[in-house]
Each structure stands twice: as C-alpha cells, then as structure tokens.
Amino acid sequence: MLTPNGLPAKQIEKLMLLSLWANKIKEEQEKNNGFRDKKFILAGLGKPTYPVNSTTVAAYLDYWQQFTQTTNGPDPVSEQAIDYGNPHGDLYPRTLMAESMTRWYQTRIHADNILFTVGGVGALRVVFDTLNSYFSEIPGYRVLTPLPYHGVYATNPMHRLHPIPVMKTKGYQFTAATLKTSIQEAYSRAQIDGGLPKALLMCNPSNPLGTVIPVEEMTRIAEVLRQYPELYIIIDEAYIEMSYVPAVSLLQLAPDLQPRMVVLRSATKALSAAGERMAMLMAFCLNLMQDMVYRNMSYFIHAPRSAQLAYAQTMMHFDTNEQQRLQTYYQKKVDYVQRRLIEMDAAMPDPDYRVQGAFYVLADLHELFGRPLPPKAQYILQKGEAVTTDEELAYYLLVQEHLMIAPLSYFGVSPQKGYMRITCSAPEEELCELMNRLELQLSLQRKLKETVQID
C-alpha cells in the first residue's frame, strides 16, 4: 500500500492511513471540481459531534485569563510564566478528579491513584511499556483481549494479543466462560512458545462492538480473575459515559482486585474533546503507579496543565442529567443506522447483537465483494481489480462513493468476513445519505448477481 505522498505505507496504523487518504481525496475533489461531486461522508473514525462540554470551555478560559493582566501590564511578573508541573499531574486537578471518580465508582479513590496522560493512546502506551519492563524476559508475553479490539492494542511489539472470541457468543457478549477458556488456551500455547499470559485488556463499552457487559456477567468475570492472581487487569472505559444501559466497572464490583487494576478514562468522545487529548489512568498499587509516572514522564514530562484542570473540573460537574443528554443524542443516531441495516439486509449475522454504548454499529457488507476497484483504489492498494477483502471494500467506497467507513480487519477480524464499522455521530441527514449510498451499492450488486445467474 501507498501513503498519500506515494511512499510505501509500511507500519502506519491502517485506520489512520485510511483517514489520511480520505482527507487527501476529499481535498483533491474539492480543488478540481469544487463541490459538484458527492459530498464526502467520513464515518470511519471515532468522531464526536455532541457540543463540547461548557465546563471544559469555561475551565480553559479561566486558566488562560489569569495570565491576561500580567502579560499585558507594563511590568510582566515572572511568577506568572507557566512552569513545568508535577509529572504525576498537578495535585489540585488530581484531587478534583479523585473526588469525582470516588462519586462515580462509589469507591474511595485518592489523588495518588490518578495519572493524567496525553490522550487514551498515550495512556495505553504508558501501560504497555510498563508491562514490557516487568516482562522483558518473556518475549511475546500474552495479553488477553476480546476480539474484535481497538487497533492500538496490537501496536506493542513486545506483547502478543490472545483474542477472546466474543463474536462466537450470543449477542457478541464478553462472558466469564469465554474468558476462562481463553486463559486456559493461553497457558497451553505458552507451553509451546513461552509466551505466558500476563494481562487482561478489556474495553467496556466495547470499541468496535458497542456492547456493554451486564452486571451479572461482570461479577462472574471477577470470579474468574480471582483464580488467576498473576494477571494484570487493564480496563479501557473510554466510552463509559456513553452507555445506554446500566454499566458497572470491576473497580466497583471487585475491590479486592484493585491492586492489579489499571483503569483508563478519556475525555475524547464523551466530552467531545478529541483534539485536546485529555485522558487519565487510575492505579492502586504504589509501585505500579510510580512506574507508569516514570514512563509518562519520559514521553511527555506531563500532560498539559490546562488540560488537567479542564478535565478534572468537567468531571466534577458531569452529572446524570448531562450523561442522559449525551446518551439520548447518540443513541438516536445508532438506532437509526441499526434499523436501516436491518431493512437493507446488511445487519450482522447474530440477531441478538445490540449496540448498548458508544456510537459505532457493525455492518455485514460482504455482498459487495466483487465490485470493480476504481483505478485510484488500485493505485493506493497496489493490487487487485475487484473487491475481495474488507480493506479493499473500504477503499472502493472511499473512491467510488466518497464514503469512509472502517474495515473490521483493522480490529482483528478476518478480512474475508466483509464486516465494517460505521461511526454514527453525523447529523441525521448525513447518516441518511450514507445509508442510501450503501443501499444503492448493495442493490446494484444484487441485481448484477441475479443477471449473471439468469445468464
């Protein structure tokens, strides 16, 4: 594959590469044809559209306005310069965040349990490199995670992901039974290759599935984890504010597991602040937290001090009313896309699959395999004349229909499945147009197959 600069793509994260091409082709079309062609609809990345939280805006304004007088005055005060802060995060925002998280989880959380990071991806890198330092003598140590999983989970060269096959369970739900079976399988394989399982990484609500683990199942998952005290437990709750059904954390249900837990929270999606890169980690083992602080310091020194304060103050004021407005806003969009997929016979094979959180819906578009790849798509992919994989389908839709949706092979699923992830955050009229274009493509392909069969 090639980048928009015409260079080999090599190790560029594939979803980011697709986004780069989407923006490149969009710019080319607008430059050459103005806006006469089909509008580009970019529904491949996690793009929040709910208005940015007003408390976040106010916190940033307050932070910067405190410097206005001194910078505009005749005698600038040196103490008003922005100095480096604590690599752990400034104490005041950590204290605020600990108070809000104590309220959220109904579990006592202290300022020392909080580490501000630069985005969720930065947080995961801190966790991965910390584990790498612990298990440097176990190359290819295993990290169990439900399949499909966020592509970033697979970017650590030192660990190997051991997929938990949740797409084989009813409703694509992560269950205690599948977890226990997968742990046992991981130990069996480790006898062959030495890659011992050392951590569980779970995302709730799931990205990309949008499923939420029921309270009863989470309790059973905790019971399984008690049987394996050697496993670290990494909980990605980047979308927890966007749960449409009751969602509970292991942090609440299993306080005895806290010493080996790391919990990730993010302002990226729920607070509509993706570009501000606000996130945090919570850990309850002093040594683990200290090691993560060292890693965070080596990458960033610390998260921006303004962002720490804005994130903490926002969560202090984030109440059930705000959460309900957020959920209502996105659930309406998710329900619309799910309904349209059912109507056009492109829903996922499991009829029990329901999106219960986040703003993604999976679609089964394998029927579009066989569509002819446009020359531009062939150039990008450096292969193929017809669509045979979900990635080729993604570039076909991008070039032919000006649609960007994400192949599920980017989340660990077989590219031959033809499953795609649709981000359901756009305005209703844009989602309608997106679904209309997909429906038209399916209709054309079905008619073509009927014609071939008749001939």
SS3 labels along 255-322? HHHHHHEEEEEECCCCCCCHHHCEEEEEECCHHHHHHHHHHHHHHHCCCCHHHHHHHHHHHHHCCHHH
- Report the CATH architecture of 14-50+322-454: Alpha-Beta Complex (3.90)
Q: CB of 362 within 8 A of CB of 421?
A: yes
Beta pairing class for 232-236 and 197-203: parallel
What rounded mean pLDDT belongs to the chain? 93
How large is the average pLDDT for residues 164-187? 98
Could you tell me the pLDDT band of residue 70, with boundaries at 50, 70 and 90? low
Is 187 a residue whose pLDDT tops 80? yes
% residues pLDDT > 90 (the chain): 77
DSSP 354-415: ---BSSEEEEE-GGGTTPBPPHHHHHHHT--SB--SHHHHHHHHHHHH-EE-EEGGGGTS-T
Provide the Cα torsion 294, 295, 301, 304; round to 10°: -120
- Which residues belong to CATH 3.40.640.10 in the chain? 54-67+83-319
Q: CB of 399 within 8 A of CB of 384?
A: no
Measured distance CA(154)–CA(161) in Å, rounded: 7
- Which residues belong to CATH 3.90.1150.10 in the chain? 14-50+322-454
pLDDT digits (tens, 9 = 90+) for 15-64: 999 999 999 999 988 887 765 678 999 999 888 999 988 888 888 888 88
> What angle, rounded to 10 degrees, do the helices at 176-193 and 215-226 form?
30
Is 75 a residue whose pLDDT tops 70? no
Distance of CA 176 to the CA centre of its chain: 22
Task: Identify the pLDDT of residue 173.
Answer: 97
Task: Identify the pLDDT of residue 23.
Answer: 94
Task: Identify the pLDDT of residue 301.
Answer: 87
CA geometry: angle 9, 274, 267, nearest 5 deg: 130
Helix H or strand E segment including 419: strand 419-423
Three-state DSSP at 44 gives coil
Measured distance CA(386)–CA(369) in Å, rounded: 7
Provide the 8-state DSSP code for 241: G
Task: Identify the pLDDT of residue 237.
Answer: 96
Give the CATH fold of the 54-67+83-319 domain.
Aspartate Aminotransferase; domain 2 (3.40.640)
> What angle, rounded to 10 degrees, do the helices at 286-300 and 119-134 form?
120
DSSP 59-71: HHHHHHHTTHHHH
% residues pLDDT > 70 (the chain): 96
How large is the average pLDDT for residues 61-89? 74
Q: CB of 439 within 8 A of CB of 344?
A: yes
Tokens representing 118? Answer: 């630069």
Task: Identify the pLDDT of residue 72.
Answer: 56
| Beta-sheet strand order (sheet of 261-266) | 114-118, 278-283, 261-266, 232-236, 197-203, 141-147, 159-165
pLDDT digits (tens, 9 = 90+) for 406-424: 999 999 999 999 999 999 9
Is 165 a residue whose pLDDT tops 70? yes
Give the phi and the psi of residue 37 in degrees, each rounded to 5.
-80, 175
How large is the average pLDDT for residues 304-332? 93
pLDDT digits (tens, 9 = 90+) for 258-304: 999 999 999 988 888 888 888 999 999 999 999 999 999 988 889 88
* In the block, residue with structure tokens 């989880």: 105
H helix and E strand count, the chain: 14, 12
| pTM given for the model | 0.92
CB burial class (10 A; 0-12, 13-18, 19+) of residue 15? buried
Is 234 a residue whose pLDDT tops 90? yes
Could you tell me the pLDDT band of residue 79, with boundaries at 50, 70 and 90? low
How large is the average pLDDT for residues 204-225? 97
Q: Which stretch of 42-51, 197-206, 365-374, 435-444 has the lowest confidence by average pLDDT?
A: 42-51
Is 396 a residue whose pLDDT tops 80? yes
CA geometry: angle 417, 213, 175, nearest 5 deg: 70
Is 454 a residue whose pLDDT tops 90? no
